[in-house]
Amino acid sequence: MKHLKQAHALAVTSGLASTSFALSRVLALSSDPHHGSLVHACKLFQHIHQPTICIWNTMLKAFLLNGELMQIIHAFTKMLQQGISPDNYTLPYVLKACARLQSTCLGELVHGYCLRLGLLLDIFVGNSLIVMYCAFDDVKAARYIFDEIPKLSAVSWTVMISGYAKVGDVETARLFFDVAPVRDRGIWGAMISGYVQNSCFKEGLYMFRLMQLTDVEPDEAIIVSILCACAHLGALHIGVWIHRYLDRLGLPLSVRISTGLMDMYAKCGNLDIAKKIFDGMPQKDIICWNAMISGLAMHGDGENAIKLYREMEAARVQPDDITFIAIFTACSYSGMAYEGIRMLDRMISVYKIEPKSEHYGCMVDLLSRAGLFQEAKEIIQRISNSSNPSEDAVAWRAFLSACCNHGQTQLSEIAAEKLFELERHSGVYVLLSNLYTASGKHGDARRVRNLMKNRGVEKEPGCSSVEIGRAVHEFIAGEKTHPKMEEIYSILEKINTHLYYSVHDP
pLDDT tens, residue by residue, 133-191: 999 999 999 999 999 999 999 999 999 999 999 999 999 999 999 999 999 999 999 99
Q: What is the mean pLDDT of residues 331-354?
A: 90
pLDDT value, residue 53: 92
Q: List CB contacts of 442: < 8 A, sequence separation 6 or more.
A: 436
pLDDT value, residue 104: 95
Is the domain spanning 367-460 CATH 1.25.40? The answer is yes
Q: What is the mean pLDDT of residues 355-370?
A: 83
3: pLDDT confidence band, cut at 50, 70 and 90? confident
Statement: residue 24 has pLDDT above 90: no
Cβ atoms of residues 189 and 156 within 8 Å: no
Of 455, 471, 453, 473, which Cα lies nearest the Cα of 463? Answer: 473
pLDDT value, residue 478: 63
pLDDT value, residue 188: 98
Rounded to the nearest integer, the mean pLDDT of the chain is 88
Adjacent-strand bridge partners of 474: 465
Share of the chain above pLDDT 90, in %: 55
> Which one is predicted more confidently, 23 or 383?
23
Domain-by-domain residue ranges, the chain? Answer: 367-460, 463-506
Statement: residue 386 has pLDDT above 60: no
> Which one is predicted more confidently, 27 or 194?
194
pLDDT value, residue 328: 93
> Which one is predicted more confidently, 81 or 384?
81
Under DSSP, is residue 159 helix (H, G, I), strand (E, B) or coil? Answer: helix
Cβ atoms of residues 230 and 269 within 8 Å: no
pLDDT value, residue 254: 93
Adjacent-strand bridge partners of 465: 474
Burial class (CB in 10 A: 0-12, 13-18, 19+), 74: exposed
What torsion, rounded to 10 degrees, do the Cα atoms 24, 29, 32, 34 define?
A: 180
> Which one is predicted more confidently, 438 or 137?
137
372: pLDDT confidence band, cut at 50, 70 and 90? confident
Cβ atoms of residues 66 and 38 within 8 Å: yes
Under DSSP, is residue 323 helix (H, G, I), strand (E, B) or coil? Answer: helix
- pTM, two decimals, is 0.78
- CA dist 403 and 438 (Å) reads 13
Of 323, 299, 329, which Cα lies nearest the Cα of 310? Answer: 323
Whole-number Cα distances in Å, 323 to 79, 233, 343: 44, 24, 11
Instruction: Sort strands 463-468 and 471-476 into parallel, antiparallel or unpaired.
Output: antiparallel
Statement: residue 52 has pLDDT above 60: yes
User: What would you report as the CA-atom Rg of the chain, rounded to the nearest whole angstrom?
Assistant: 29
Under DSSP, is residue 464 helix (H, G, I), strand (E, B) or coil? Answer: strand
